[in-house]
A and B are shown apart, each in its own frame.
Chain A
């Protein structure tokens, strides 16, 4: 473990995971908002909105995230001149957040839509029968029940998002995979400890997160 006894290496390790945390946090928020909105589009009575939702999902779910992040940098930023921050790192960070969010929103949308599908038809029919409008049905009756059903799939999406955050390293952000690569290249005698520390950090956070969401999903499940 002599590699991490060096203060510079330790700082690089910590800041790399801070980037992962920030990427995950901001993208999770944006993807959740966007994904729920898209799911509402996909079940709405307006054909244009259904089309927008379906197109978004089939476009972004079938494109590799690496290509999306690549496009955010070389397309949006380099070619089209969209700059999101003056600072180089911050600009890369926000471009990465944009890429992660539009990609993950497609998966959130599908998770929420399949959650809506688990709500029995009788619930919505009863809501309509007492005269609730579409938005009232969705907001008061369907979404609260669907929300409980989507805890587990959304947990998986969140875990995947956290792991996907490493891909933002492609556009030069010094996140965990890039820092690990540098440490391995300069410490050839300690590659296994270095890998175990980086991989272990992910495992130590994500495996309990998986179990937490599993437990939560069980607890919140609508008993039928």
Chain B
């Protein structure tokens, strides 16, 4: 249901009313923005010296770009490991052997329920006592991200594998495949395609969570671009706004990509559904993912 179904197509009176409301709320929004602007102004946050660093090359080459690279590296490594973790544990949870299924289920449920920060702290401060050596902040962040996002992806994969019509695996068994072959050749590839939008949107979560690296002094965007930069120039508000804009830009692009993939896979599912007669349609259409 599109939002326009909630109300009638506006007639003359409704149009006037909407225009009046638009003006009233528009003025309200402008007043609010003006108030925020004034508060910033009173605190001297619009002074040129606070914003000037962002016009200098040094700010970008020494702080923001290397930090952005660290953020992207951590997110990319975490994503690759999460995908592997997710596939292994999704298949593990669907195993016929209880001694694989139960531990896989416990691991996935546990890591989904534990805050990421708690895991990162344990890896960074606790694990060194166990292995008698330091753990680099990078790996504390990446392993933490992997355990959490891997578990989330495992659940997504499991749902994806289970949403594939039973006819697929029945046909595969009928031509003589073993369970592992059915999984590898038939179910996982189809589930991966259906889950592609979910995987891409999980990347947004992962990228945002790399900001936790700030708490453990990993030199990522928040650490270098806001904390260290503002230590040099005293412009914490300005730096936070610029860095937030960078995060928002990257994540919006990823979200656009996920939506495009989602539309594409839904179109595809719809085509398949049309081709394979009406009754199967409901099963074939991929469930919309939040």
Interface residues, chain A, with chain B CB atoms under 8 Å away: 42-50, 52, 58-59, 61-67, 70-71, 74-75, 78-81, 110-111, 114, 116-117, 119-121, 124-125, 128, 134, 137-138, 142, 153, 159, 163-167, 169-170, 176-177, 180-181, 184-185, 188-189, 191-192, 194-195, 198-199, 202-203, 206-207, 210
Partner of B113, one of A169, A185, A203: A203
Q: Tell me if A206 and B113 are in contact (CB < 8 A).
A: yes
Map CB proximity to A onto B8-23 as digits: 1 under 8 Å, 0 otherwise.
1010001000100110
Partner of A181, one of B6, B125, B255: B125
B279 surroundings in chain A (CB, below 8 A): none
Partner of A67, one of B8, B29, B116, B240: B240
DSSP class of B's interface residues: helix, strand, loop or mixed? helix
Q: Tell me if A48 and B25 are in contact (CB < 8 A).
A: yes
* Complex CA–CA separation, A75 to B18 (angstroms): 36
B212 surroundings in chain A (CB, below 8 A): 64, 66, 167
A169 surroundings in chain B (CB, below 8 A): 117, 215
CB distance from A153 to the nearest CB of B (A): 6
Map CB proximity to A onto B34-67 as digits: 1 under 8 Å, 0 otherwise.
0000011001010000000000000000000000
* Complex CA–CA separation, A162 to B27 (angstroms): 36
Q: How many A-B residue pairs have CB under 8 A?
A: 178
B188 interface residue (CB < 8 Å to A): no
B130 surroundings in chain A (CB, below 8 A): 191-192
| 8 further interface pairs, Cβ-Cβ under 8 Å (given A62-B208, A192-B126) | A46-B25, A49-B21, A61-B251, A65-B208, A67-B244, A70-B227, A80-B40, A166-B118
* Complex CA–CA separation, A177 to B230 (angstroms): 26
CB distance from B103 to the nearest CB of A (A): 15
* Complex CA–CA separation, A39 to B183 (angstroms): 41
CB distance from A23 to the nearest CB of B (A): 12
* Complex CA–CA separation, A14 to B228 (angstroms): 34
Q: Tell me if A177 and B118 are in contact (CB < 8 A).
A: yes
B153 interface residue (CB < 8 Å to A): no
B260 interface residue (CB < 8 Å to A): no
CB distance from B57 to the nearest CB of A (A): 24
CB distance from B169 to the nearest CB of A (A): 25
B21 surroundings in chain A (CB, below 8 A): 46, 48-49
A191 surroundings in chain B (CB, below 8 A): 122, 125-127, 129-130
B113 surroundings in chain A (CB, below 8 A): 159, 163, 202-203, 206-207, 210
Q: Interface residues of B, CB < 8 Å — how many?
A: 57
Q: Tell me if B118 and A138 are in contact (CB < 8 A).
A: no
Q: Tell me if A180 and B211 are in contact (CB < 8 A).
A: no
Q: Tell me if A75 and B240 are in contact (CB < 8 A).
A: yes
Q: Tell me if B222 and A67 are in contact (CB < 8 A).
A: yes
B45 nearest CB neighbor, chain A only: A79
Q: Tell me if B237 and A75 are in contact (CB < 8 A).
A: yes
Closest 8 CB pairs of A and B: A64-B211, A191-B126, A62-B251, A163-B115, A66-B211, A64-B208, A43-B3, A206-B113
B45 surroundings in chain A (CB, below 8 A): 79-80
Q: Tell me if B214 and A66 are in contact (CB < 8 A).
A: yes
* Complex CA–CA separation, A165 to B3 (angstroms): 33
B199 interface residue (CB < 8 Å to A): no
Map CB proximity to A onto B118-159 as digits: 1 under 8 Å, 0 otherwise.
110110011101100000000000000000000000000000
Q: Tell me if A70 and B109 are in contact (CB < 8 A).
A: no
Partner of A116, one of B1, B29, B109: B1
A194 surroundings in chain B (CB, below 8 A): 126
Map CB proximity to A onto B193-217 as digits: 1 under 8 Å, 0 otherwise.
0000000000010001111101100
Q: Identify the interface centre among A66, A166, A198: most chain B CB within 10 Å of its CB.
A: A66
A195 surroundings in chain B (CB, below 8 A): 118, 122, 126
Q: List 8 A-B contacts (CB under 8 A).
A: A43-B3, A49-B25, A67-B247, A80-B43, A124-B5, A164-B115, A166-B118, A177-B115
CB distance from A28 to the nearest CB of B (A): 16
A177 surroundings in chain B (CB, below 8 A): 115, 117-118, 121
Q: Tell me if B1 and A134 are in contact (CB < 8 A).
A: no
Map CB proximity to A onto B222-256 as digits: 1 under 8 Å, 0 otherwise.
10001100100000110010011001100110010
A46 nearest CB neighbor, chain B only: B21
